Structure 1
Amino acid sequence: MKLMRIKEMEDYILANDTVSLDTLCQVFNVSKNTVRRDINRLAEKGVIKKVYGGVTAIEKPALIPFENRTIQNKDTKTKIAHYASHFIEDDDLIFIDSGTTTQSILDTINPNKQVTIITNSLDIINTAAALEHINLVVIGSTYKRKTQSFVGMDDPSTLDKYNINKAFMAATGVSLTHGLTNCDLLEYEIKKKISEKANEVYLLADHSKFGKSTLLTYAPFSRLDCIVTSKPLDQDYENYCHEHNIDIHLV
């Protein structure tokens, strides 16, 4: 358990570059003394260094830069996004998640559709701003350049007033055990709130995301209504989706 926590803490620090001790206590639900012991182990290992009030990564961050992630499986991700756009209907109020798989979802949408879009993705904001029939609501208080998204909510209850029909979500890892996961605490807060609020949750994920999990689960697998992916899923996923009425669409 301790070794697993230290490994997860290492991954979290590498993904976020610099993290405060208070944040590590909150994320891992441990005391500050425990955090200090764990980061001493990581400092001895040479992957992080201690700074005032926290720690910073000295290895290359585990999170691949956004521009490089965009290149990986680019054609597949674009096809998934274009396919998913057909689920958007007139008068929908939808959320579009930040991520390299969701960023192209508006490229093929009928420009005359009357849709309200809530998003924290800079790519989606830029695309939606050019479509005159789309109402655009931007959330997130801080711009994160690494993921080209706005993260954090000064008042998370702000999302409670929106009746979101459909949420088109991305994930760093997807598994039956750990559900839909990511490794950024501020992104997690938005993803979790949206997944709880939306009437229908659509997961847009290429085949490489399945069978993997990262630090934070923002929604259980059972929360899904639809999966759009690139290759047939393993039989255990197929069985689970059939039993829980989760639609699978292959692109």
Structure 2
Amino acid sequence: MKTTDTHTTHREVELLETLRGWGGSARTAALAEALGVSEETVRRTVKALAKGGRVHRVHGGVYLANSDAGAPVRSRLEKYAAEKTRIAAAAAGLIPNGACIFLDVGSTTAFVAEALRDHRDLTVVTNGLYAAQSLVRRNGNTVWLAGGELREAELGTFGTSAMAFVERFNIDMAVLSVDGIDPDSGFLIAGAAEAELARAVTKHARRNLVVVGQTKFGQTAPMVACAPTAIDLLVTDAPLQPVFEKRMLDWDIELVVARKGRT
């Protein structure tokens, strides 16, 4: 399995962000025009990214290795809904009434928000519109939506304002989604802004919970979300492969498997 080089250059980040904004694929000429560089510069950048397993090259173009990572949250909500529902139910069972929680913009986290609708007196801090709408005005909950740049693809807010807002709260548990899990680099996220916020939140919350389906294990993405040891709990939908099970032990992460037939 290829490992992910976490030392991503500015040019590589620019190219990856452009690909995500265009749905995951583009022609070399179009990328050169969008980035204001030569096609040869694009080809060199793509070659470096392909060596790290982040993109695939085709004649005259390139596409993201993990196309789901850059897809709008609306489309990701429709994929693996049964698995995400199981994961969400298990995650909600780990959160007590009255807790102060952070929910990110991930599609699996959106399912967690739905699973929390019967909880009471939660203080919900989020940068995601789905989570905010699911839990506002329910059972004595208080919902705080972080300010910042509102991005359409994620339907969430990002930037220094969002990070500063989140850090004002005494968060009992942060619930996070990721775009990939690598046995060497750990928890990976496609977007730079999402990764930056994840690092800020995991340093601040008492406990950090990752909710992730089996399809994300072994997937790559360009940004490291946080140090693997910053995560306390991981909820997924099936037993892990031995290499990842060992990593959870190495990183001292409690594993919860939401199996079929459980609620």
Which residue pairs with 1:224 in the alignment? 231
Say which structure, 1 or 2, has more relative contact order (CA 8 Å, 6+ apart): 2
- Distance in 2 between the 1:76 and 1:221 partners? 23
Residue 101 of structure 1 corresponds to: 108
Distance 1:76 1:119 in 2: 23
Alignment correspondent of 1:11: 16
Cα 1:112–1:67 change in 2 (3 A) is closer
Tell me if 1:75 matches 2:77.
no
Q: Which amino acid aligns with 1:148?
A: L
Note the C-alpha offset of 1:82: 1.7
How many equivalent residue pairs?
Answer: 221
Q: What is the TM-score of this pair, normalised by structure 2?
A: 0.73
Cα RMSD, aligned residues only: 3.0
Q: Distance in 2 between matches of 1:169 and 1:42?
A: 33
* Structure 1 residue 120 corresponds to structure 2 residue 102: no
Distance in 2, Cα, partners of 1:16 & 1:119: 23
Matched residues in 2 for 1:202 and 1:144: separation? 24
Q: Which amino acid counterpart does residue 184 of structure 2 have in structure 1?
A: T
TM-score (normalizing by structure 1):
0.77
Q: Aligned partners of 2:162, 2:104: CA distance in 1, in Å?
A: 19
1:179 CA displacement: 1.9
Secondary structure at the counterpart of residue 104 of structure 1 = helix
Name the residue aligned to 1:133.
140
Secondary structure, in 3 states, of the residue corresponding to 1:249? strand
1:163 to 170, 180, 184: 170
Question: Aligned residue for 1:187?
Answer: 194
Task: Please tell me whether residue 234 in structure 1 is matched to residue 234 in structure 2.
Answer: no
Structure 1 residue runs without a partner (length 5+): 18-34, 47-57
Taking only the aligned residue pairs, the percentage that are identical comes to 18
